Structure 1
Amino acid sequence: MTKMPSDFAAQSAILRLTSDLSGAEPLPAHLRGSVVAIGNFDGVHRGHQAVLKKTLELAKMRQCPAVVLTFEPHPRSFFNPEQPVDRLTDAQEKAAILGLLGFDVVVEQAFDASFSGLSAQEFIDQILIERLGASEVITGVDFHFGTKRQGNPAFLQQAGERHGFGVTLIEPFTDEGGAIVSSSRIREDLAEGDVVAAAALLGYHYTLASVVIKGRQLGRTLGFPTANMALPLQTGLKHGIYAVRFRRADGTLYDGVASFGRRPTVDSDGSALLETFVFDFSGDLYGEFCSVSFFAYLRGEEKFDSLDALMVQMHRDEAEARAILSGVQSLSQLDSYLTFPDVAADAD
């Protein structure tokens, strides 16, 4: 089994292309001629993984680098900044997952006014040929590019024939029920608190990551100290209590129970916060970049009549979460890397 680096985010090979298209350097010579997967890949879900798997297979067969070209910010957030997309994976987490899957480089193209103004042919010339020197491009059959989405798969294939690079188009990936796997479906599941259904589409357990910040420290006085994380306002996960696994920056994993919401018993007017009671841990996590993976929805937020009543329920939540987490199984090798302690221990 492949061992997971203790700080897998830092180990991912990330090459960020400048948004100054006229002055950016091309990929270094040893990375040119690569097989390139193109897409937003938000969530790196099972549908994305079909595109990525084909890319890795071709790169291995041809003994050349495997590269991902992705875009930051998400194009929908660029065009509609007042309603940014609820990202399933931020740039760092996405790059980390792509690194774990086996990619040599993640090329993160700035999606800004200059880039969005490129014509479809300019995208071919400046990005695929001059910058990347791609020998093969892998993408979904619904891929569009260039200003006003003027470039489509047929245009890409014709350009490949003219310029000497191959094009492989992947049909939409469907789940066991025949429905297309998409980031939108996953967001809908998360909005209902159905993290089990979301995990089935992702191929791993949904994960949120952020820096641990200081809170009011009320949990400490109640015997339930929590690691608190502020999340983007657009985070669409249903408010409630969840059984989770908590990963420290060094890769160490702990079981826990997390509350995501506005804490109606103690702080009804507060902004949404992710608070994780980490089982069997004592120490200082402030300032540490950690992640929380969601395994089960336990209950919704409630406003209790007293702190004593809240504490009684918290003990019940802890017992239920421990029972659930003691019996969970990995969904995939990627899920094992991210959320299962035996693999983390092997990496040490």
Structure 2
Amino acid sequence: MSQIALRRVSKSFGSVAVCRDIDLDIAAGEFVTLLGSSGCGKTTTLNMIAGLEDCSQGDILMDGRRVNALSPVERDVAMVFQNYALYPHMTVADNIGFTLRMRRLGREDIRRRVEAVAASLELSHVLARLPSQLSGGQQQRVAIGRALVREPRIFLFDEPFSNLDASLRVRMRAEVKELHQRLGVTSIFVTHDQEEAMSISDRIAVMHQGRVEQMGTPQDIYARPATRYVARFIGNPQVEPVTGVIEAGMVIRLGAIGLPLPSRHAHLPVGHKVDIAIRPEHVRLGEQGIPASVRLVQPVGPTTHVTLDCGGHLLVASVPGFLQVAPGTAVRFELDPDQLLIFDHETGRRL
């Protein structure tokens, strides 16, 4: 296991800055996910940690040692790619043991280690098959096995499940999480899927426009987003912050609607422009409260997502069970002011 640190790491391709002043600290044995939309710099960051890309500036440290000039082999990292990168003419056993043969280990030692890894990944019965004879999930496990058999200090995963169907993705998440719990190897996982990141990570680094917007546990990032971007990006259904103005009497004015201002924000001056959001589970439909009309109803198994139009502002209520209500129906809702997420309109930072 290795501790990893990035210190003001940046990467530019020509005049295009892809990563900017990234600072990360990853503890030995931790599972950290780099999460963000396409083009945010997460894969480039992973490649710099792996040694596949050079830093334009900054330092990458492993166990306190600067490794900028070291190759991937010298860094002792193993990477699992999006496209599996299996050799189509080799059997599963040969694919898993390839790196060991390159190291010139003895045949019996290779066989023993390959069989042990295959057993841990439930691949023992397919060791003689070619990749084309495997399912997508089996191919992905072979790719993981090839990395695992090296016994590296660091695992790097670059969107490894993006080519799998939804149900298989869920199963593979569980397998990777169980694998990490069993081995405890420092792991960095890249994905654009926030549900995936929330389900497997010890901590998540949310990236946006080449920077780390926030790093924290899944619970912290969901409940206490540091910025407006993180609040929108994390959570399903997505919240849409709306702009309001602080009024006297501790009220946030949204057009014709006034919402109570949480007491922790009593210091905000009158006239200060803010963006507010609230998670769907904190919006309660009832017979009292703020009037709204139903815009959209989306049953999603154990809950129903109801989009409400409140004076031109849209918000979503997550209602337990299956709710039958027609679009256009007049309803009322209540919310807990202490659950409001309030951001500075200019900076986007949570207040």
Which has the larger share of helix? 1
User: TM bucket by the smaller chain?
Assistant: under 0.3
Normalising by the residue count of structure 1, what TM-score does the alignment of the two structures yield?
0.25
Which structure has the larger Rg over C-alpha atoms? 2
Normalising by the residue count of structure 2, what TM-score does the alignment of the two structures yield?
0.25
Larger RCO of the pair (alpha carbons < 8 Å, separation 6+): 1
Which has the larger share of strand? 2
